[in-house]
Amino acid sequence: MTTHWILGPGAIGRLLAHSLAPFIEVSVIGRRALPSRQLLTTPEGEVCFQHLTSFTAEQWVADTPTPPAFVHITTKAMAAEAALSSIASVLPPSTPLVLWQNGFYAQPRITQTWPGPVLCATTTQGAYLTGDDGVVHAGRGPTFVGDLDNQHAGLAAFLAVLLSEAGLTASAVGDIRSRLWQKLAVNAAINPLVALHGVRNGELRGEAYSGRVVAVVKEVTAILAKEEVAPPNGGEGDTAWLALVWQVVENTANNKASMLQDVEAKRPTERGAILGPLIERAERHGLRCELLKGLDRKLAQVEAGF
Ligand code: KPL
Which superfamily, per CATH, for 3-174? NAD(P)-binding Rossmann-like Domain (3.40.50.720)
Confidence of residue 123 (pLDDT cuts 50, 70, 90): very high
What's the pLDDT tens digit per position in 47-92?
999 999 999 999 999 988 899 999 999 999 999 999 999 999 999 9
Q: Is 201 in the pocket of ligand 1 (CB under 6 A)?
A: yes
pLDDT(147) > 80: yes
Q: Is 252 in the pocket of ligand 1 (CB under 6 A)?
A: yes
- Considering the four listed CATH numbers 1.10.1040.10, 1.20.58.1030, 3.10.20.30, 3.40.50.2300, the one that applies to the domain covering 178-304 is 1.10.1040.10
Centroid of ligand 1 to alpha carbon of 191 (angstroms): 7
Centroid of ligand 1 to alpha carbon of 210 (angstroms): 17
Burial class (CB in 10 A: 0-12, 13-18, 19+), 143: buried
CATH 1.10.1040.10 domain extents, the chain:
178-304
What's at 260, amino acid-wise? L
**Which atom of ligand 1 is found nearest the CA of 260?**
4
**Annotated catalytic residue 183:** yes
- For the segment 166-174, the average pLDDT, to the nearest whole number, is 97
Instruction: Name the H helices within the chain.
Output: 11-20, 57-62, 80-87, 106-113, 153-165, 176-197, 207-226, 237-251, 258-264, 271-284, 290-304
d(CA 205, CA 278) in angstroms, rounded, equals 23
d(CA 115, CA 110) in angstroms, rounded, equals 9
Centroid of ligand 1 to alpha carbon of 17 (angstroms): 21
* Percent of the chain scoring above 70 in pLDDT: 100
d(CA 73, CA 179) in angstroms, rounded, equals 18
Beta bridge partners of 72: 6, 98
What's the pLDDT tens digit per position in 243-266?
999 999 998 888 889 999 999 999
Contacts 24+ apart (CB under 8 A), 221-230: 222/282, 222/287, 223/278, 223/281, 223/282, 223/285, 223/287, 223/289, 224/181, 224/185, 226/281, 226/285, 226/287, 227/181, 227/281, 227/285, 229/177, 229/178, 229/181, 229/182, 229/185, 230/178
CA angle 65, 67, 73 (to 5 degrees): 95
CATH 3.40.50.720 domain extents, the chain:
3-174
Q: What is the mean pLDDT of the chain?
A: 95
Candidate from 100, 180, 186, 193 with most ligand 1 atoms within 8 A of CB, to mutate: 186
Question: pTM for the complete prediction?
Answer: 0.95
